[in-house]
Structure 1
Amino acid sequence: MGRCPGPVKRGTGLVVGDEDETSPAAAVFDALGSEYEKAFAGSEAHRVSLQWLLGRLAPGSRVLDVGSGTGRPTAATLAAAGHRVLGVDVSPVMVEIASRQVPGAEFRCADVRRLSLEDGSFDAVCVYFALLQMSRPEQSALVRQLARAVRPGGFFVLATVPLDVEGFDGVFMGQDVRVTSFSAQDVTALVRQAGLTVVSEESVMFTPTHPDAMPEPQLFLHCRRPGPGADG
């Protein structure tokens, strides 16, 4: 597997481009499948982050979940609260699992870097650990694109592993990966340069429940796009 279907245009505000190449991230997460969900199920910080967002969303909000994985916990939590969730993931295996596990949300297999999103088309965008296999220029460009997709006054949540590394070859849960990230200070600067206001942030250490996993720092940024009612 590891390759999403070809070009398609569906729904409102989203165009999926041509997926000619197999993504390294797709190969990794195709292989991990449900093991990824099990390994990260114990993340209290992720649950707290979702509660922060739920406490601010209006009923029936439209939310984009970037790197939606198995659909749990992000899409499942938001859909259960009555929000309209669109999950996007490059892994066909993850999209199949998510569609089965969270029927109340919509999932599409696509490389988020190739999506065309209408400005202001979502009330909130969530990006939980979805950037780490992209280059720094790709991460910067994507954050700017996703920030524009949030309506004025809407919300943007970003979680990442804040390490100052570029093109680092390592092993993640038994899978070979090449990781690029920013320091915590630079991640925060990145979202601010995209025009977002950082309302709160949380830094934690988390060890995934997997025999090959190592403790990792995690940074959760909770942001708003300036606009009407954007007072935090």
Structure 2
Amino acid sequence: MTDEQPTRAPAAVVFDALGASYEQAFAASEAHRRSLEWLLARLAPGSRVLDAGSGTGRPTAETLADAGHDVLGVDVSPVMTALAARQVPAASFRCADIRDVPLADGSYDAVCVYFALLQLARGEQSEVVRRLARALRPTGLLALATVPLDVEDVEGVFLGQPVRVTSFAARDLTAMVEGAGLDVLAHEETLFTPARPDAVSEPHLFLHCRLRATPPAA
């Protein structure tokens, strides 16, 4: 008789399988680089930054840590987390589901959540964004990126791996973020083709937000 193995999050299974190939496929994203530049231009020296869904640590955690910021990356994939720790020793990384990580109110100057919500239900995505917003210090910054499609629990293939995807149309995503107490200061929509022979172009949406000075009523 063998011990039962704990059920692994679907995202952990997918990104454990992808490993470094994910970084290679998305390394050429200029929109991602511009998003990080937007953050860097507004962060005070030595800011505390949370990278939710930190992947391999590149480019997000590496770029922010190289600029002197105190970065914590959280990712559900143990393969990705171990790779990030090796590649970006100037940042800290934790293998965990962001939904389960305790986040003290007002504890971060900025939060990044790049393409980390797509395998969560819509209600879970909304709750995660609300938690991340509460974790920001007054007028803190949040950068969020996703694939802006009006889909819910749709089967697909991502870089050769089977996935189930849920997302919002751009307008609905913006409304969700604003409902969490964030003001969208800038956004960029673009088409990106991952660097793989079997890849197809996909829409990307980057939202650049600031915590509203007066949070909305509960």
Normalising by structure 2, we get a TM-score of 0.95
Over the aligned positions, Cα root-mean-square deviation in angstroms equals: 1.2
Q: Is 2:79 aligned against 1:96?
A: no
Give the partner amino acid of 1:109. Answer: C
User: 1:20 Cα deviation (Å)?
Assistant: 4.5
Q: 2:176 & 2:94 partners in 1: Cα distance?
A: 27
Trace 1:131-170 onto structure 2 (pairs within 5 A). Answer: 131-170=117-156
**1:177 aligns with one of 163, 179, 182:** 163
**1:114-125 mapped onto 2 (5 Å cutoff):** 114-125=100-111
Residue 47 (structure 2) aligned to one of 40, 61, 83: 61
Distance 1:138 1:214 in 2: 27
> Match of 2:201?
215
Structure 1 alignment gaps of length 5 or more: 1-18
Seq. identity, %? 68
Matched, 1:71 2:57: yes
Contact 1:172 1:212 in 2 (8 A): no
CA distance in 1, matches of 2:107, 2:45: 16
C-alpha distance after superposition, 1:164-219 (max 9, x if no partner): 00000011111000000000000000100000010000000000001222100000
Cα shift at 1:136: 0.5
CA distance in 1, matches of 2:173, 2:42: 23
Specify every segment of 5 or more residues in structure 2 that has no aligned partner in the other structure, as ranges. Answer: none
What TM-score do the two structures reach when normalised by structure 1?
A: 0.89
Distance in 1, matches of 2:107 and 2:199, equals 37
Whether the aligned pair in 2 keeps the contact of 1:143 and 1:191 (CA below 8 Å) is: yes
The number of equivalent residue pairs is: 210
Per the alignment, residue 188 of structure 1 pairs with 174
Structure 1 segments of 4+ aligned residues over 3 angstroms from their partners: none
1:44 maps onto 2:30 in alignment: yes
